Amino acid sequence: MPSHATPVPLENLPYRPCVGVMLLNKSGQIFVGKRIDQTVEGWQLPQGGIDEGESPAEAAFRELEEEIGTRNAILLREHDEWLSYDLPAHLVGVALHGRYRGQRQKWLAMRFRGDDAEINIHTAEPEFAQWKWLAVDVLPRLVVAFKRDTYARVIAAFRDLAAPTT
């Protein structure tokens, strides 16, 4: 935390309402992007805030377009629960514009219907430096530690969808 920042009590901050997308390709692999803005290597699934009046599905399609340049996907399933995570203490008051203690996320599984040439991470406000498809079981080893439990729950809920399609 910068020396000029005032510590913010965690209990005084809300969770940011967000959507997360486990995007699967035809081979049953999941899309991951390497964040541009992290000092440690961190890969993640597409995710972002839910705007006022927006449903989680609407937010998911918007976030896909903003982060990877395409909406060419179909909704497979929505997670039954909202999942939350807290930021580590050194990021509270700094990350997420300093306004949130963490994120409260609705996760959706979606199937990408296009080909890799449609994916463009060089968007108007890029979030990813690079991207790749990988097997679902590899993901937990690549994400930042404070998101691992959430990702494990997402994988458990959607693992059956991570199979090749014809």
Q: Give the residues across from 104 on adjacent strands.
A: 17, 84
pTM above 0.95, yes or no: no
Helix H or strand E segment including 131: strand 128-134
Tell me the CATH class for 10-160: alpha beta
Per-residue confidence in pLDDT tens, the chain, 166 aa: 444 455 556 667 888 899 999 999 999 999 999 988 766 678 999 999 999 999 999 999 999 999 999 999 999 999 999 999 888 876 666 566 567 788 899 999 999 999 999 999 999 999 999 999 999 999 999 998 889 999 999 999 999 999 999 7
User: Where do the structural domains in the chain lie, given as residue ranges?
Assistant: 10-160
- Smallest Cα–Cα separation from 26: which of 63, 72, 68, 64? 72
- Smallest Cα–Cα separation from 79: which of 11, 156, 143, 12? 156
Helix H or strand E segment including 82: strand 73-86
In the block, residue with structure tokens 């014809």? 166
β-strands 73-86, 102-112 pairing: antiparallel
